[in-house]
Structure 1
């Protein structure tokens, strides 16, 4: 009798379950490694909670990435570069991953979008997509068109969401952070927001939080605290939001604590290149023609006007040609092992002692082969 009642209760709840929920109803397949695999690396959103709009890609370096929606896939492609012929998407009907390029996408249905104005959900079978449209509206488009549509609205979508975050999310996140979390959390220790969320849980950096609270506080830490302390520093390496590192292709503004620049001057013209770390700056310095068009005659070492790097302690812009660099420490930058710059030798010595550094070296002593050894 008790078992029968439980079955009836389950069936009654199923009737009222939201048929347009994007949450997984079966087991979830995770493709990323480590404890951060449960969250989207771009947005931080929980993948189980957004499973039915999720995608999986492979970066050019072979690393798997899993996203809460197509918006974040497109955002990642904008920075890292993704092989769009090697993308998988969840089939709404079966909740199994399928070839994204062969799927049928329903855009403009009643499914609530995560960030964009319109959701884009995938179906393996065209019939399933058409049946869905009869109930919940929308139209069918191809993967190529879904990508183009997301690219077209990406900037506006993020601008709209930023306004919402500023008014609602960040103030809530700040309250949670100040009341329930360790004040020693350093967001610059992490390269992605999902790594931050994993560390908060694994090392009890906050009192027990619901997933919604964890997302809110992580967004505050990642998007506000990570940059907020830098606003008071007047002499910084200034990087525009759309500047990409010519070596790795990453948006440099995302990593202000590692920003570096080379400025070339020829006559009345100047050309600036920004980098997400000294390592990539040095790769460019030794062989600029490898990373840009060989037709740019201005870019050679005779035309260098200034080299700027970010002092690790002060976060101020300093003369890279006069800086001291610590190599082989346990501190990693956006691209892994880094040359950590300091204006003062005594600061470099302190850092070397505190972080197991192997060597302090001046700019003119650096050699190209030593730079590439940092990638090993």
Structure 2
């Protein structure tokens, strides 16, 4: 048996390498991309800002009832934007990977789960106008052939996992890289509030050359850092919520230091500090302090963590996204942001239901999160 394995193992490794090599040879780049999106953000995905040319063979587009056209690098980004457009869509288009022409998505044949790497997703989805072209691709790269509705359903079901994967990658690689490029190469401060989308921001960076001749992955990392992370200097200099290791949430009893990203804090007038493992438990306490053993409580300050910037901000000035696909230590959460623009971006990217202010949050809102 060992002798057989010794013979088979090199063969299997060679076969596996050959499959990977073939997958690597498939290019998603468009030779003459058909970009129907208009305005400054034309070259970039409407949701994530990725280059439509680089990921053209997985790109999708929609024409809305009012004539507006949006284009996406992938069906994943189309699904992410769907809650915002589902009642406005007139037509959905996808690129035929063979002819590189936009075709009606409902008539396309999708090869799902091939050896080709997915775009913004773990599971690849490549579309073709003709079934024989899809079958030819399938023979070479694997996967299964499905219609648009099935591909859309798969993308929708995988969205939460894909979002978690992408967020982890951004936090570990893209944000730090973008910050380094920004500090090293950008000649002046860039105020993201002047732009309506990450696509507009990228166009400005490219045309103004304010950060030099930055492009490709470096441009994407830089734009993501500015759009999703960077705040003004006064905000970035604010203190983090430093949670002692023995601090327990007075609402649920969890050790808060294990969840620094979600930490919230109440500073009492006598100097005592209370820590919470999320904004949801913070508001449970604020609405009914006596329930948790605190009567006639006198509060000096209330702080929450800005989700993107990870700095302490006044809870009363924050914007809270409710009903998103991002979960906290206790499940459904109120996701805090210092800037409304950030809250809107997060709501769009993570399928949030609403944006609330401090005074909007009551027992009825908290009940929705249970």
TM-score bracket for this pair, using the shorter chain length:
0.5 to 0.7
2:320 aligned residue? 239
CA distance in 1 between partners of 2:341 and 2:82 (Å): 11
Is residue 24 of structure 1 aligned with residue 30 of structure 2? yes
Give yes or no for contact 1:44–1:194 (8 Å, CA) kept in 2. Answer: yes
2:126 aligned residue? 121
CA distance in 2 between partners of 1:158 and 1:190 (Å): 24
User: How far apart are 1:160 and its partner, in Å?
Assistant: 1.1
Is residue 166 of structure 1 aligned with residue 256 of structure 2? no
Give yes or no for contact 2:36–2:69 (8 Å, CA) kept in 1. Answer: yes
- For the residue of structure 2 that corresponds to 1:239, the secondary structure is strand
CA distance in 2 between partners of 1:54 and 1:93 (Å): 13
1:131 aligned residue? 136
Give yes or no for contact 1:188–1:226 (8 Å, CA) kept in 2. Answer: no
CA distance in 2 between partners of 1:41 and 1:85 (Å): 17
- For the residue of structure 1 that corresponds to 2:61, the secondary structure is strand
Pick the aligned partner of 2:111 from 85, 106, 109: 106
Give the direction of change, closer, same or farther, for the CA distance of 1:60–1:158 in structure 2 (3 Å limit): farther
CA distance in 1 between partners of 2:181 and 2:360 (Å): 46
2:209 aligned residue? 204
Taking only aligned residues, the RMSD between alpha carbons, in angstroms, comes to 3.1
Give the direction of change, closer, same or farther, for the CA distance of 1:237–1:105 in structure 2 (3 Å limit): same
Give the direction of change, closer, same or farther, for the CA distance of 1:226–1:67 in structure 2 (3 Å limit): farther
Q: Per-residue displacement from partner, 1:155-185 (whole Å, max 9, x unpaired)? A: 1101111111111111111110000014410
- Consecutive unaligned residues in structure 1, runs of 5 or more: 1-15, 245-249, 273-376
The normalised TM-score by structure 1 is 0.60
Is residue 214 of structure 1 aligned with residue 227 of structure 2? no
2:343 aligned residue? 253
Is residue 81 of structure 1 aligned with residue 86 of structure 2? yes
CA distance in 2 between partners of 1:155 and 1:74 (Å): 11
- For the residue of structure 1 that corresponds to 2:158, the secondary structure is helix
Give yes or no for contact 2:112–2:143 (8 Å, CA) kept in 1. Answer: yes
- For the residue of structure 1 that corresponds to 2:157, the secondary structure is helix
CA distance in 1 between partners of 2:193 and 2:72 (Å): 22
Give the direction of change, closer, same or farther, for the CA distance of 1:62–1:261 in structure 2 (3 Å limit): farther
User: How far apart are 1:148 and its partner, in Å?
Assistant: 0.9
- For the residue of structure 2 that corresponds to 1:36, the secondary structure is coil
User: How far apart are 1:100 and its partner, in Å?
Assistant: 0.3
1:334 aligned residue? none
The normalised TM-score by structure 2 is 0.61
The alignment of Structure 1 onto Structure 2 pairs a total of residues equal to: 248
- For the residue of structure 2 that corresponds to 1:159, the secondary structure is helix
- For the residue of structure 1 that corresponds to 2:320, the secondary structure is coil
CA distance in 2 between partners of 1:199 and 1:74 (Å): 27
- For the residue of structure 2 that corresponds to 1:38, the secondary structure is coil
User: How far apart are 1:232 and its partner, in Å?
Assistant: 3.5
Give yes or no for contact 1:53–1:90 (8 Å, CA) kept in 2. Answer: yes
- Consecutive unaligned residues in structure 2, runs of 5 or more: 1-21, 237-305, 326-339, 347-354
Give yes or no for contact 1:60–1:82 (8 Å, CA) kept in 2. Answer: no
Q: Per-residue displacement from partner, 1:54-95 (whole Å, max 9, x unpaired)? A: 111123543100111000011111233365661110001100
